[in-house]
Amino acid sequence: MFKIQSVLMILLLSIYKLHSQISDCIFPNSIKESRENRLHHSCEQNRNQYFAIEFNKEDNFYCIYYSSIETSLFGSERLELTIDNDFEIEQNGAEDFSVNISKVSFNVLFNDVTLKILRKSNKIPQISSVIVNNEEYCERQHCGIRSEAIPIIIGGNKVREGSWPWHSAIYYRPYIGTLNYRCGATIVNKKTVITTASCLVTYDASVQDRVKIKTEKLSVGVGETILYDSSAANRQILEVDEMKLHEMYKIKLSTDDDDGYKDDYNVALLILKNEIKYSLHVQPICLPSYTDDEEFDYDNQIGKVVGWGFTEDNGFEISRNLQDLTVSTNNFLTCMFRAVNRTLFLGFSASRNFCAGFQNNRGICTGDAGGGLYMEVDSKFHIFGLAYHANCECNKKTNKCRVFNEGIFVNLIEFMQWIHNNIY
C-alpha cells in the first residue's frame, strides 16, 4: 500500500510539473543546481525557497520561478509580489491569482509556480517586494537608500560615515598579515560586489604579462569611511570565494584584440565567502532598470562618484578619507569631439563607456578605479558606471594633482544582462 501511495504522489507531482510551465518558461530541473547554472536571483535568504528571474532578450519577456521544498503536496503558501514599472503577466501553477496595479497575489498549493512577465515600456519590471505568508522575503526594496539626508557636495570633499553605504574597498594581500588597498567596489547584494575587471589583474614580471590575482589574496572591506581603521564600528573585512570577470575581457596584454579596444568588457563580480551584515551604514546599491540593448542618454546627467583616490593636494598617495564629487556625465563621443586632445579617447569602445567629471578641474584620479558612478532615480541611488580611466596627472615637485579631462567610466547598462546572469 505504501509503495502505491508513493508512486501515486510522484505521478501527481510529475503531472503538476508539466502543467505548471508556460511556453518559453521552463522551470529549473533542480533547485539545488550549481551556482554557475542558476538564473539571476531576485531574492533568496538561506531558506528552503528558490526564487529566480530569467530574461529572454530576444523575445523581450521575463520568467519568474518560485519553488518551496518545504511545501507538502497538499500544503499552501500565500505570495504577494510588488513589481515596479509597467508589465503584463501570464501565470501557471498559481491559485487564487489576482493583479492590482503593481501588486500580484496568489497561492502556491504544490511545489512551484511559473510567471511570464512582458514589459510594456523600456524599463525592466523590477521586483521590489516578495511577501511569503505575511513575512517579507526580499530585501531589494532597501537598495540605494542612505541612512541620512546629506546635502549635495561639489568638489571632492570628505564624506560622513554612512553617506555611501554601498561603496566598498578591494584589498590585496601579497603576504600574510598585509592588507593593501587596491580599488573601489560597490555592494550589489549580501554576497556580491561589482568592480572593474582591470582591478583584479596585475603585471607579472616573470611572464612579462598580466595575470589574474589569486582569489585567496583578495579581501573586500565594507562599512569603511577611513581606510585601514580597524576600530570602525561598521567595518567588515570579507574573504573572496570566487571572481567572475567578463568572458570577453582580455587579461593578457599579448592577446590580440579583434577590435583593438583598450580593456574592453571591463566589468567583474566578486562572490564573497560569507554574507555582508547590513546596517544603517552598510547597504546595497540598486541596479539600473534598463537592458543592454537600450541606449541611455548620458549627456548632461548628474551623478556622484566616490573613492579613496589621489586628491588635489596629496599626490602619489591614496586618501585615507573617503571623498565624493558631484559630476556631469556625457556620452563618450561628446567628450571625444570636444576634447582639446582627442587622442585621450582613442582606443575605447564608445558604446561600452561614457565619461564624466572635469567640472572646475575636478574628477576621478588614480585610486578611484572600480568605484561606482551613482545616479538618484525615484529617490533611490542606482549604479550606472564604474570608474576606469582617469585623465589626471600629478607633479612630484609640488606633490599636487590636476584633472585635465573627463574620466572614462564603464557603461553598466551595456552589461546588465551579464550581471543578472552571473550575480549570486
Task: Quote the cell numbers at residue 422.
Answer: 552571473
- Residue 147 placed within a domain: no
Place 147 in a pLDDT band, splitting at 50, 70 and 90. low
Final residue in a domain of this structure, among 139, 172, 190: 139
Give the residue among 150, 151, 250, 152 at the shortest CA–CA distance from 209.
250
- The whole domain housing 62 covers 2-139
Question: What's 204's DSSP letter?
Answer: E
Strand pairing report for 192-195 and 201-204:
unpaired
* Number of domain units in the chain: 2
Give the residue among 16, 181, 187, 206 at the shortest CA–CA distance from 114.
16
Measured distance CA(412)–CA(287) in Å, rounded: 9
Do 198 and 245 fall within a single domain?
Answer: yes
Measured distance CA(283)–CA(303) in Å, rounded: 19
Do 167 and 134 fall within a single domain?
Answer: no
**192: pLDDT strictly greater than 90:** yes
Which CATH number do you get for residue 129?
A: 2.60.40.290
pLDDT 10s digits, 354-369:
988 766 667 777 678 8
Do 161 and 112 fall within a single domain?
Answer: no
**333: pLDDT strictly greater than 70:** yes
H-helix or E-strand containing 323? Answer: strand 323-331
CB 108 within 8 A of CB 97: no
> Which range, of 23-27, 261-265, 279-283, 287-291, averages the lowest pLDDT?
23-27
Q: What is the pLDDT of residue 237?
A: 95
**319: pLDDT strictly greater than 90:** no
Give the E-state strand segments of 57-111 in sequence order.
61-68, 77-84, 87-92, 94-100, 103-108
Measured distance CA(78)–CA(69) in Å, rounded: 15
- Residue 149 placed within a domain: no
Do 231 and 361 fall within a single domain?
Answer: yes
CB 87 within 8 A of CB 120: yes
- Residue 168 placed within a domain: yes
Place 92 in a pLDDT band, splitting at 50, 70 and 90. confident
Final residue in a domain of this structure, among 113, 139, 165: 139
- Residue 296 placed within a domain: yes
Final residue in a domain of this structure, among 109, 139, 169: 139
- Residue 145 placed within a domain: no
Task: Quote the cell numbers at residue 24.
Answer: 518559453
Do 396 and 281 fall within a single domain?
Answer: yes
Residue 266: count other Cβ atoms within 10 Å of its Cβ.
Answer: 30
